[in-house]
Every structure is written in C-alpha cells, then in structure tokens.
Amino acid sequence: MSVTEELQATIGDLVDGRRGILAADESIGTIAKRFDAVGVDPTEEHRRFYRSMLLSTEGLGDYICGVILFEETLGQSDGAGRPLPELAAGAKIVPGIKVDKGKGPLAGAPGDMITYGLDGLAERLDSYREQGARFAKWREVYPVSPHNPTRLGLTANAEMLARYAAVCQSRGVVPIVEPEVLMDGDHDIQRCAEVNEQVWHEVFHALHRHGVVLELMILKPSMVTPGKECVSRPAGGAPPEQVAEHTVRSLRRTVPAAVPSINFLSGGQGPEEASANLNALNQLWHAPWQLSFSYGRALQEPALKAWAGREENSAAAQEALLKRARLNHLAMRGEYSGGLERE
C-alpha cells in the first residue's frame, strides 16, 4: 500500500459521519491535576488502569472512531497484557498519538506562545507507527487580548502546524491540525470570531505553502465562544445557536471545502455545553465538512468522577463515558436534546 493509500484508508476510518474522536492524550502533569480533583494518586499504574478502562468500554467503537493517546499510553498494556493501541483497534477505534512537546513563550511576541517538538519528528512518527498509531495531533495555542495574537504569533504558529502536518503525511500518518484559540479572557464572541478567522486564514495559507494535502488531514479548532471572564457571558455559556452561527460563519470564510472533517475541541466547555453546541452546529447549516468532535474533558469528566480511583467503580465509569459518546454522536446528527441527559 502506498503512503497516499494509507492516508486515505485512515481518513476513511476517521470520517464516517457518525463517530468522533476521544482525546486521551493528557500529559503527566495535566492528568495529575484531573486525578487530584477526584482524590486519585497520579501514579503510572493509575494512569495505565484508567486509560485501559476507558478503551475497554463495551460498545465505545459505535460512537468513537479514534483515540488520541499520550506517548506513555502508546507503550502500555491492559491487565491481560494486550497493548492499548491493539485494544483500541480491536474495537474499531483508530489509535493516534500526540506528538508535540509542550509550549513556551514566543520570543519577540509578548503574550504569544509557541509549541515545541519538530526536532526528530519524522523518526518518532516511524516508531509510533510501529506501535500502532495511524494519525497524530499537534496543538498550537493562541491567547486572546487586545494585542494578541500578534502578527508574529499568527505566522509562527501556523508555520509550526504546517511543518508538522507535512512531515506526518510524508510518513503515512494523518495529521490533526489543532489551532486552539483560548477561552481565557474577557473578550466577547465577536472578538473571538475575529481571532479565529485570522488564525484559520493563516494556518491554511501555511498548509498550502508546505504542500499539505487538505483531503488527507483533519482540523481540530475551537468553537467561537465568548471568553470565560466576558461580562456578557451567561453562566452556562453563550446560547448554542449563537455559538453555531458565529462558528459556521467564520469557518465558511476561511476553511476550504476540501477538508473532510472538522473535529471541534471542547476547550473548557462542560460536557452538556459541548454537546449542545455541537448539536446546534449540525442543525444550523449543511456544511461541506463533517462537523464532529474531538473532546477530552467533555467526554471524560463524568467517567473520571464515577471512577474516583476505585476498581469497583469501573462499570459505572464506562457507562458514563459511553453515555457521553452516544450523546455527542446524536449531536453530530443534530438529534441531541437536554432531556437526553436525564435518561
């Protein structure tokens, strides 16, 4: 099979109109914070057990087509000794891998950030493929302020995403391109829309310069929402119809129709809020792209609370995860309602 055929096969498995992606790629530091919130000691064994529990949820593959793993998880096994990527693949869930190495300040652009990890990426991708990974993810973040992102921040972050995506495709790995406009701040929804349009415009120019085949990648963007500290932001978040209207308008202005799927990140939204917003997006307008999800906390939070580090709670945790996956599957079809939360 040629590299292009491998990429096309992976896209075919990830873009089927009914399933989304589970983001389970939290770094050791991030998952330690999540565990701490429910009183779980963040040991390597707890991390292994927790992610093994998620991936062994019966029926998860009915609603989840892919899982983004942290590098540590890619080499771990379940209690029976089965590698976790193999466990996922057995449930018809494509294993993927987070490949960036974290972020830091962007020199020359106060307030902006840049992500690290391009050095040795091609060789790491070859190793990850041998372990079962078929797609990758790289995240760039964009703080919003009256002065950010700067012109340098826009161009430097787009360049990193494009270079990463080009390397992935050269290695037969589908790239998920994640430009996250952060919810932190007091900006309103119009300012968020303006920044997202600037970001997406710059990203796709860079992808074009680097020869990235748009049909063989996935975009993982933020939804257009007001900042968390915005004075006009309602307590439960902006109305889903407002989020959908602004998000689709900005996407239509900047994202080529050749992109097969847009898998939104939840980016600080709660589980119900993320489902309601995705549902509104799919009800608003028949898009040229699949509008799906690649949620982390918005899928995992109820399961993590139900588990709380106790093995006897595994079944309840899996049930909570499966429910959220099913509700987001319904949101992809525009069939989600708040009443389903109480079933």
CA–CA separation, 308 and 293 (whole Å): 25
- Quote helix, strand, coil % in the chain, to nearest 5: 50, 15, 35
Query: How far, in Å, CA of 28 to CA of 141, rounded?
Result: 19
* Active-site residue, from 178, 202, 245, 272: 178
- What distance in Å separates the CA atoms of residue 177 and residue 131, rounded to the nearest whole number? 21
Report residue 283: phi and psi, to 5°: -85, -25
Residue pair 331/278 in contact (Cβ under 8 Å)? The answer is yes
The active-site residue, picked from 140, 220, 272, 273, is 220
The tally of CA atoms less than 13 A away on the side-chain side of residue 53 is: 25
The residue type of 238 is A
Report the Cα–Cα distance between both ends of the chain, in Å, rounded.
46
Residue 294 near residue 263, CB atoms below 8 Å = yes
Distance CA 263, CA 260 (A): 10
Is residue 178 among the annotated active site residues? yes
Question: Cα–Cα distance between 173 and 135 in angstroms, integer?
Answer: 5
Name the region of 76 (left: φ>0; alpha: ψ -120 to 50; beta: rest): beta
Catalytic residues: 178, 220
